[in-house]
Amino acid sequence: MQDDATELDRALEGRGRVLIPAELKDAFADDTLAVRRRALSKSVLLGTGFYVAFALGDAFAVPDRLQLALIFRLAIILPLGLVVFYWLRRTRCSLIRQQCVACSFHLLVVGLLALLVVLSESVDALGFVFASYALLMFMVISMALPRSLVAVLASVVVLIQAVAVAHGPLRYPTLELHNLMIAIVIIGPAIFANRALESDRRRQFLLMERERLRRRQLAEQRDMLARLAALDPLTELANRRGLNAGIAGDLDRLTSGARVAIAMIDIDHFKAYNDHYGHGAGDEALRRVARALAEAARPPGRVGRMGGEEFAVFVPGITHHELPLYAERLRASVQRLALVHHHSRTAGVMTISVGMVLGCPTSSDVQMLFEAADAALYRAKKAGRNQVSIEDLTRPDMNAHRTG
Protein backbone atom coordinates (compact mmCIF):
# COMPACT_ATOMS: atom_id res chain seq x y z
CA MET A 1 0.00 0.00 0.00
CA GLN A 2 2.94 2.32 0.64
CA ASP A 3 4.12 1.71 -2.94
CA ASP A 4 0.67 2.75 -4.19
CA ALA A 5 0.87 5.98 -2.21
CA THR A 6 4.34 6.71 -3.61
CA GLU A 7 3.13 6.13 -7.16
CA LEU A 8 0.18 8.48 -6.62
CA ASP A 9 2.47 11.17 -5.20
CA ARG A 10 4.78 10.79 -8.20
CA ALA A 11 1.86 11.11 -10.63
CA LEU A 12 0.59 14.24 -8.87
CA GLU A 13 4.01 15.87 -8.80
CA GLY A 14 4.54 15.42 -12.53
CA ARG A 15 4.44 18.48 -14.77
CA GLY A 16 2.30 18.79 -17.87
CA ARG A 17 -0.26 16.10 -18.57
CA VAL A 18 -1.23 14.12 -15.49
CA LEU A 19 -0.87 10.38 -16.09
CA ILE A 20 -3.17 7.86 -14.45
CA PRO A 21 -1.34 4.72 -13.22
CA ALA A 22 -2.25 1.66 -15.28
CA GLU A 23 -3.95 -0.12 -12.38
CA LEU A 24 -6.23 2.89 -11.79
CA LYS A 25 -7.33 3.55 -15.37
CA ASP A 26 -10.52 1.50 -15.05
CA ALA A 27 -11.34 3.15 -11.73
CA PHE A 28 -10.76 6.60 -13.27
CA ALA A 29 -13.02 5.76 -16.21
CA ASP A 30 -15.76 4.58 -13.85
CA ASP A 31 -15.31 7.57 -11.55
CA THR A 32 -15.62 10.15 -14.36
CA LEU A 33 -18.21 8.31 -16.46
CA ALA A 34 -21.22 10.11 -14.98
CA VAL A 35 -19.49 13.50 -15.33
CA ARG A 36 -18.66 12.88 -18.98
CA ARG A 37 -22.19 11.69 -19.77
CA ARG A 38 -23.66 14.82 -18.18
CA ALA A 39 -21.20 17.00 -20.11
CA LEU A 40 -22.38 15.49 -23.41
CA SER A 41 -26.07 16.02 -22.71
CA LYS A 42 -25.50 19.58 -21.47
CA SER A 43 -23.39 20.36 -24.55
CA VAL A 44 -26.16 19.21 -26.88
CA LEU A 45 -28.88 21.05 -24.96
CA LEU A 46 -26.95 24.33 -24.68
CA GLY A 47 -25.75 24.05 -28.27
CA THR A 48 -29.31 23.56 -29.51
CA GLY A 49 -30.39 26.65 -27.60
CA PHE A 50 -27.57 28.72 -29.12
CA TYR A 51 -28.30 27.50 -32.65
CA VAL A 52 -31.96 28.47 -32.37
CA ALA A 53 -31.19 31.82 -30.69
CA PHE A 54 -28.78 32.79 -33.48
CA ALA A 55 -31.67 32.64 -35.95
CA LEU A 56 -32.10 36.35 -35.16
CA GLY A 57 -28.88 37.05 -37.05
CA ASP A 58 -29.81 35.12 -40.17
CA ALA A 59 -31.66 38.13 -41.61
CA PHE A 60 -28.38 40.06 -41.65
CA ALA A 61 -25.99 37.21 -42.56
CA VAL A 62 -27.99 35.38 -45.26
CA PRO A 63 -30.97 37.55 -46.20
CA ASP A 64 -31.25 35.74 -49.55
CA ARG A 65 -31.44 32.36 -47.81
CA LEU A 66 -33.38 33.37 -44.72
CA GLN A 67 -36.19 30.85 -45.21
CA LEU A 68 -33.71 27.99 -45.68
CA ALA A 69 -31.73 29.11 -42.61
CA LEU A 70 -34.91 29.06 -40.49
CA ILE A 71 -35.79 25.61 -41.81
CA PHE A 72 -32.33 24.40 -40.86
CA ARG A 73 -32.58 25.84 -37.36
CA LEU A 74 -36.21 25.22 -36.44
CA ALA A 75 -37.12 22.15 -38.49
CA ILE A 76 -33.86 20.19 -38.35
CA ILE A 77 -31.50 21.40 -35.61
CA LEU A 78 -34.07 22.07 -32.87
CA PRO A 79 -36.02 18.75 -32.99
CA LEU A 80 -32.89 16.71 -33.68
CA GLY A 81 -31.07 18.38 -30.79
CA LEU A 82 -33.92 17.56 -28.42
CA VAL A 83 -33.99 13.96 -29.62
CA VAL A 84 -30.24 13.58 -29.17
CA PHE A 85 -30.44 15.17 -25.72
CA TYR A 86 -33.24 12.80 -24.67
CA TRP A 87 -31.33 9.82 -26.04
CA LEU A 88 -28.15 10.79 -24.20
CA ARG A 89 -30.07 11.10 -20.93
CA ARG A 90 -31.78 7.73 -21.30
CA THR A 91 -29.37 5.43 -23.06
CA ARG A 92 -26.85 3.23 -21.28
CA CYS A 93 -24.64 2.43 -24.23
CA SER A 94 -20.87 2.91 -24.19
CA LEU A 95 -19.44 6.38 -23.57
CA ILE A 96 -17.53 6.47 -26.86
CA ARG A 97 -20.75 5.80 -28.76
CA GLN A 98 -22.48 8.64 -26.94
CA GLN A 99 -19.54 10.93 -27.69
CA CYS A 100 -19.67 10.04 -31.37
CA VAL A 101 -23.41 10.76 -31.53
CA ALA A 102 -23.00 14.13 -29.79
CA CYS A 103 -20.11 15.08 -32.08
CA SER A 104 -22.11 14.01 -35.13
CA PHE A 105 -24.94 16.33 -34.10
CA HIS A 106 -22.60 19.30 -33.73
CA LEU A 107 -20.86 18.46 -37.03
CA LEU A 108 -24.25 18.37 -38.72
CA VAL A 109 -24.83 21.92 -37.51
CA VAL A 110 -21.42 22.97 -38.81
CA GLY A 111 -22.25 21.36 -42.13
CA LEU A 112 -25.59 23.16 -42.38
CA LEU A 113 -23.93 26.50 -41.63
CA ALA A 114 -21.31 25.75 -44.27
CA LEU A 115 -24.07 24.94 -46.76
CA LEU A 116 -25.62 28.34 -46.11
CA VAL A 117 -22.24 29.94 -46.86
CA VAL A 118 -22.05 28.09 -50.18
CA LEU A 119 -25.65 28.78 -51.25
CA SER A 120 -25.80 32.44 -50.22
CA GLU A 121 -24.55 35.33 -52.32
CA SER A 122 -24.16 37.50 -49.22
CA VAL A 123 -20.62 38.35 -48.17
CA ASP A 124 -21.81 38.43 -44.55
CA ALA A 125 -22.45 34.69 -44.81
CA LEU A 126 -18.74 34.22 -44.18
CA GLY A 127 -19.55 35.12 -40.58
CA PHE A 128 -20.81 31.58 -40.26
CA VAL A 129 -17.19 30.48 -40.65
CA PHE A 130 -16.34 32.30 -37.45
CA ALA A 131 -19.50 30.91 -35.85
CA SER A 132 -18.46 27.37 -36.79
CA TYR A 133 -15.07 27.74 -35.15
CA ALA A 134 -16.67 29.24 -32.06
CA LEU A 135 -18.97 26.22 -32.08
CA LEU A 136 -15.95 23.96 -32.36
CA MET A 137 -14.34 25.63 -29.35
CA PHE A 138 -17.57 25.15 -27.42
CA MET A 139 -17.68 21.45 -28.37
CA VAL A 140 -14.08 20.74 -27.51
CA ILE A 141 -14.24 22.43 -24.13
CA SER A 142 -17.72 21.42 -22.97
CA MET A 143 -17.91 17.75 -23.97
CA ALA A 144 -14.82 16.45 -22.09
CA LEU A 145 -13.70 14.56 -25.19
CA PRO A 146 -10.58 12.38 -25.45
CA ARG A 147 -7.67 13.79 -27.45
CA SER A 148 -8.14 11.42 -30.38
CA LEU A 149 -11.75 12.48 -30.85
CA VAL A 150 -10.81 16.16 -30.50
CA ALA A 151 -8.25 15.77 -33.30
CA VAL A 152 -10.82 14.11 -35.59
CA LEU A 153 -13.44 16.71 -34.75
CA ALA A 154 -11.11 19.66 -35.43
CA SER A 155 -9.90 18.17 -38.71
CA VAL A 156 -13.43 17.63 -39.99
CA VAL A 157 -14.53 21.17 -39.05
CA VAL A 158 -11.49 22.73 -40.76
CA LEU A 159 -12.14 20.64 -43.87
CA ILE A 160 -15.83 21.63 -43.97
CA GLN A 161 -14.96 25.31 -43.61
CA ALA A 162 -12.27 25.08 -46.28
CA VAL A 163 -14.84 23.68 -48.73
CA ALA A 164 -17.36 26.37 -47.72
CA VAL A 165 -14.82 29.19 -48.25
CA ALA A 166 -13.68 27.74 -51.55
CA HIS A 167 -17.27 27.67 -52.88
CA GLY A 168 -18.59 30.72 -51.04
CA PRO A 169 -19.56 34.14 -52.36
CA LEU A 170 -15.96 35.40 -52.31
CA ARG A 171 -13.62 32.97 -54.00
CA TYR A 172 -10.31 34.57 -53.12
CA PRO A 173 -7.32 32.26 -52.55
CA THR A 174 -6.26 34.41 -49.61
CA LEU A 175 -9.46 33.46 -47.83
CA GLU A 176 -8.21 29.87 -47.56
CA LEU A 177 -5.12 31.12 -45.72
CA HIS A 178 -7.35 33.36 -43.66
CA ASN A 179 -9.52 30.34 -42.80
CA LEU A 180 -6.46 28.33 -41.75
CA MET A 181 -5.18 31.14 -39.53
CA ILE A 182 -8.58 31.45 -37.87
CA ALA A 183 -8.61 27.70 -37.30
CA ILE A 184 -5.19 27.79 -35.63
CA VAL A 185 -6.05 30.80 -33.46
CA ILE A 186 -9.35 29.30 -32.23
CA ILE A 187 -8.66 25.56 -32.21
CA GLY A 188 -5.30 25.90 -30.46
CA PRO A 189 -6.68 27.49 -27.26
CA ALA A 190 -9.66 25.11 -27.36
CA ILE A 191 -7.41 22.06 -27.41
CA PHE A 192 -5.25 23.57 -24.68
CA ALA A 193 -8.34 24.22 -22.53
CA ASN A 194 -9.55 20.68 -23.16
CA ARG A 195 -6.20 19.29 -22.05
CA ALA A 196 -6.13 21.53 -18.97
CA LEU A 197 -9.63 20.45 -17.95
CA GLU A 198 -8.78 16.79 -18.49
CA SER A 199 -5.61 17.18 -16.42
CA ASP A 200 -7.68 18.81 -13.69
CA ARG A 201 -10.12 15.89 -13.71
CA ARG A 202 -7.22 13.46 -13.48
CA ARG A 203 -5.58 15.44 -10.70
CA GLN A 204 -8.82 15.59 -8.71
CA PHE A 205 -9.26 11.85 -9.11
CA LEU A 206 -5.71 11.13 -7.98
CA LEU A 207 -6.09 13.46 -5.00
CA MET A 208 -9.29 11.68 -3.97
CA GLU A 209 -7.66 8.30 -4.53
CA ARG A 210 -4.67 9.33 -2.43
CA GLU A 211 -7.00 10.53 0.32
CA ARG A 212 -8.92 7.21 0.22
CA LEU A 213 -5.63 5.33 0.32
CA ARG A 214 -4.40 7.32 3.30
CA ARG A 215 -7.67 6.72 5.12
CA ARG A 216 -7.31 3.00 4.49
CA GLN A 217 -3.74 3.17 5.75
CA LEU A 218 -4.85 4.99 8.89
CA ALA A 219 -7.67 2.49 9.43
CA GLU A 220 -5.25 -0.42 9.03
CA GLN A 221 -2.78 1.21 11.39
CA ARG A 222 -5.54 1.80 13.94
CA ASP A 223 -6.61 -1.83 13.61
CA MET A 224 -3.02 -3.00 13.96
CA LEU A 225 -2.46 -0.84 17.03
CA ALA A 226 -5.73 -2.10 18.51
CA ARG A 227 -4.62 -5.69 17.90
CA LEU A 228 -1.20 -5.01 19.36
CA ALA A 229 -2.77 -3.29 22.38
CA ALA A 230 -4.85 -6.42 22.96
CA LEU A 231 -1.96 -8.87 22.41
CA ASP A 232 0.70 -10.17 24.73
CA PRO A 233 3.94 -9.75 22.73
CA LEU A 234 5.74 -12.69 24.34
CA THR A 235 3.16 -15.44 23.99
CA GLU A 236 1.02 -13.88 21.23
CA LEU A 237 -2.05 -14.65 23.30
CA ALA A 238 -4.60 -12.02 24.19
CA ASN A 239 -3.55 -9.88 27.13
CA ARG A 240 -5.96 -8.92 29.91
CA ARG A 241 -7.45 -6.14 27.82
CA GLY A 242 -7.84 -8.32 24.75
CA LEU A 243 -9.33 -11.18 26.74
CA ASN A 244 -11.90 -8.91 28.36
CA ALA A 245 -12.89 -7.52 24.95
CA GLY A 246 -13.23 -11.03 23.54
CA ILE A 247 -15.32 -12.16 26.50
CA ALA A 248 -17.65 -9.17 26.05
CA GLY A 249 -18.17 -10.13 22.42
CA ASP A 250 -18.81 -13.78 23.30
CA LEU A 251 -21.36 -12.81 25.95
CA ASP A 252 -23.24 -10.65 23.43
CA ARG A 253 -23.62 -13.66 21.17
CA LEU A 254 -24.73 -16.06 23.90
CA THR A 255 -28.38 -16.89 24.40
CA SER A 256 -29.98 -15.92 27.68
CA GLY A 257 -29.21 -18.38 30.46
CA ALA A 258 -26.28 -20.03 28.68
CA ARG A 259 -23.48 -21.24 30.93
CA VAL A 260 -19.88 -20.17 30.74
CA ALA A 261 -16.73 -21.27 32.52
CA ILE A 262 -13.64 -19.34 33.53
CA ALA A 263 -10.36 -21.00 34.44
CA MET A 264 -7.50 -19.27 36.21
CA ILE A 265 -4.15 -21.00 35.67
CA ASP A 266 -0.80 -20.54 37.38
CA ILE A 267 2.51 -22.23 36.49
CA ASP A 268 3.78 -24.06 39.55
CA HIS A 269 7.08 -22.78 41.02
CA PHE A 270 7.80 -20.62 38.01
CA LYS A 271 9.97 -18.19 39.98
CA ALA A 272 12.30 -21.03 40.87
CA TYR A 273 12.43 -22.01 37.20
CA ASN A 274 13.37 -18.48 36.20
CA ASP A 275 15.98 -18.17 38.92
CA HIS A 276 17.79 -21.41 38.06
CA TYR A 277 17.34 -21.69 34.27
CA GLY A 278 17.44 -18.00 33.38
CA HIS A 279 14.92 -15.55 32.00
CA GLY A 280 15.53 -16.65 28.42
CA ALA A 281 14.53 -20.19 29.28
CA GLY A 282 11.63 -18.80 31.32
CA ASP A 283 10.33 -16.83 28.31
CA GLU A 284 10.58 -19.89 26.08
CA ALA A 285 8.72 -21.95 28.70
CA LEU A 286 5.95 -19.32 28.80
CA ARG A 287 5.63 -19.48 25.02
CA ARG A 288 5.39 -23.27 25.02
CA VAL A 289 2.86 -23.29 27.86
CA ALA A 290 0.81 -20.66 26.02
CA ARG A 291 0.74 -22.76 22.84
CA ALA A 292 -0.21 -25.88 24.78
CA LEU A 293 -3.07 -24.12 26.59
CA ALA A 294 -4.33 -22.51 23.38
CA GLU A 295 -4.39 -25.92 21.70
CA ALA A 296 -6.08 -27.62 24.64
CA ALA A 297 -8.67 -24.85 25.02
CA ARG A 298 -9.96 -25.11 21.45
CA PRO A 299 -12.77 -25.39 20.79
CA PRO A 300 -14.42 -23.22 22.07
CA GLY A 301 -12.18 -21.66 24.73
CA ARG A 302 -10.50 -18.26 24.61
CA VAL A 303 -7.06 -18.06 26.26
CA GLY A 304 -5.28 -14.99 27.57
CA ARG A 305 -2.20 -14.17 29.58
CA MET A 306 -3.11 -12.19 32.67
CA GLY A 307 0.49 -11.32 33.52
CA GLY A 308 3.64 -13.10 34.71
CA GLU A 309 3.00 -16.84 34.82
CA GLU A 310 -0.78 -16.50 35.16
CA PHE A 311 -3.22 -17.38 32.39
CA ALA A 312 -7.01 -17.40 32.03
CA VAL A 313 -9.41 -19.36 29.84
CA PHE A 314 -12.99 -18.36 29.01
CA VAL A 315 -15.25 -21.15 27.76
CA PRO A 316 -18.78 -20.29 26.56
CA GLY A 317 -21.53 -22.88 26.25
CA ILE A 318 -19.92 -25.58 28.40
CA THR A 319 -21.99 -27.93 30.61
CA HIS A 320 -21.28 -29.12 34.15
CA HIS A 321 -20.60 -32.63 32.80
CA GLU A 322 -17.87 -31.31 30.51
CA LEU A 323 -16.29 -29.07 33.12
CA PRO A 324 -14.03 -31.60 34.92
CA LEU A 325 -12.74 -33.12 31.68
CA TYR A 326 -12.05 -29.71 30.21
CA ALA A 327 -10.12 -28.54 33.26
CA GLU A 328 -8.14 -31.75 33.33
CA ARG A 329 -7.33 -31.37 29.64
CA LEU A 330 -5.81 -27.96 30.36
CA ARG A 331 -3.71 -29.27 33.23
CA ALA A 332 -2.48 -32.35 31.35
CA SER A 333 -1.55 -30.36 28.23
CA VAL A 334 1.26 -28.59 30.12
CA GLN A 335 2.48 -31.64 31.94
CA ARG A 336 2.77 -33.51 28.62
CA LEU A 337 5.27 -30.90 27.47
CA ALA A 338 7.75 -32.55 29.85
CA LEU A 339 9.66 -29.34 30.43
CA VAL A 340 12.34 -30.37 32.93
CA HIS A 341 12.00 -28.50 36.23
CA HIS A 342 14.36 -30.00 38.81
CA HIS A 343 13.65 -27.17 41.22
CA SER A 344 9.92 -27.81 41.42
CA ARG A 345 8.70 -29.22 44.72
CA THR A 346 5.67 -30.70 42.93
CA ALA A 347 7.10 -32.75 40.05
CA GLY A 348 10.24 -33.13 37.94
CA VAL A 349 8.59 -31.30 35.06
CA MET A 350 6.73 -28.03 34.69
CA THR A 351 3.10 -28.23 35.85
CA ILE A 352 0.16 -25.91 36.34
CA SER A 353 -2.60 -25.44 38.87
CA VAL A 354 -6.12 -24.78 37.57
CA GLY A 355 -9.06 -23.14 39.28
CA MET A 356 -12.24 -23.32 37.22
CA VAL A 357 -15.80 -22.12 37.85
CA LEU A 358 -19.05 -22.53 35.95
CA GLY A 359 -21.84 -19.97 36.02
CA CYS A 360 -24.59 -18.19 34.09
CA PRO A 361 -23.25 -14.64 33.97
CA THR A 362 -24.08 -11.39 32.31
CA SER A 363 -21.45 -8.87 31.28
CA SER A 364 -21.98 -7.11 34.60
CA ASP A 365 -20.89 -10.02 36.84
CA VAL A 366 -18.03 -11.59 34.85
CA GLN A 367 -15.68 -10.11 37.41
CA MET A 368 -17.41 -12.19 40.06
CA LEU A 369 -16.61 -15.34 38.06
CA PHE A 370 -12.98 -14.27 37.78
CA GLU A 371 -12.83 -13.82 41.54
CA ALA A 372 -14.43 -17.22 42.08
CA ALA A 373 -11.97 -18.83 39.65
CA ASP A 374 -9.07 -17.11 41.43
CA ALA A 375 -10.32 -18.49 44.73
CA ALA A 376 -10.53 -21.97 43.17
CA LEU A 377 -6.95 -21.58 41.92
CA TYR A 378 -5.83 -20.70 45.43
CA ARG A 379 -7.46 -23.90 46.72
CA ALA A 380 -5.71 -25.97 44.01
CA LYS A 381 -2.33 -24.51 44.95
CA LYS A 382 -3.03 -24.95 48.64
CA ALA A 383 -3.90 -28.61 48.01
CA GLY A 384 -0.39 -29.26 46.70
CA ARG A 385 -0.30 -27.72 43.17
CA ASN A 386 -0.57 -29.63 39.89
CA GLN A 387 -4.23 -29.72 40.83
CA VAL A 388 -7.60 -28.89 39.30
CA SER A 389 -10.12 -27.21 41.61
CA ILE A 390 -13.66 -26.94 40.23
CA GLU A 391 -16.59 -24.90 41.47
CA ASP A 392 -19.97 -25.12 39.77
CA LEU A 393 -21.90 -22.05 40.86
CA THR A 394 -25.04 -23.54 39.32
CA ARG A 395 -24.63 -26.75 41.41
CA PRO A 396 -22.71 -26.18 44.63
CA ASP A 397 -22.52 -29.93 45.30
CA MET A 398 -20.22 -30.37 42.30
CA ASN A 399 -17.19 -28.68 43.91
CA ALA A 400 -14.18 -30.99 43.61
CA HIS A 401 -10.40 -31.30 43.41
CA ARG A 402 -8.48 -33.43 40.94
CA THR A 403 -4.80 -34.22 41.10
CA GLY A 404 -2.48 -34.88 38.19
How far is Cα 251 from Cα 366, in angstroms, rounded to an integer?
10
Strand partners, 304: 238, 312
pLDDT of the residue at 397: 60
Three-class DSSP category at 235: coil
pTM score over 0.85 = no
Question: Buried (b) or exposed (e) across 198-229, using 16+ Cβ within 10 A?
Answer: beebbeebbeebbeebeeeeeeeeeeeeeeee
pLDDT of the residue at 190: 74
Do β-strands 310-316 and 302-307 pair in parallel, antiparallel, or remain unpaired?
Answer: antiparallel
pLDDT of the residue at 13: 65
Is the Cβ–Cβ distance between 207 and 157 less than 8 Å?
A: no
Tell me, what amino acid is at 67? Answer: Q
pLDDT of the residue at 191: 76
pLDDT of the residue at 11: 60
Do β-strands 260-267 and 310-316 pair in parallel, antiparallel, or remain unpaired?
Answer: antiparallel
- Strand ranges inside 47-187, DSSP E: none
The residues, ordered by sequence, that sit 6+ positions from 93 with a Cβ below 8 Å of its Cβ are none
How far is Cα 130 from Cα 128, in angstroms, rounded to an integer?
5
How far is Cα 143 from Cα 290, in angstroms, rounded to an integer?
66
Q: What is the pLDDT along the chain (404 residues), one digit of tens a residue?
A: 555 556 666 666 656 567 777 888 888 788 888 888 988 899 899 889 888 888 888 888 888 899 998 999 999 999 999 999 999 998 888 989 999 999 899 889 888 888 888 888 888 877 777 777 777 777 778 788 887 888 888 888 888 878 877 777 666 566 666 666 766 767 777 777 777 777 888 888 888 888 888 888 888 888 888 888 889 999 999 999 999 999 988 888 888 778 999 999 999 999 999 999 999 999 999 999 999 999 999 878 999 999 999 999 999 989 888 999 999 999 999 999 999 999 998 999 999 999 999 998 765 578 899 999 999 999 999 999 999 999 988 876 655 555 55
pLDDT of the residue at 254: 84
List residues with catalytic annotation: 309
Measure the CA dihedral 296/298/301/304, to 10°. 60
pLDDT of the residue at 349: 95
pLDDT of the residue at 262: 96
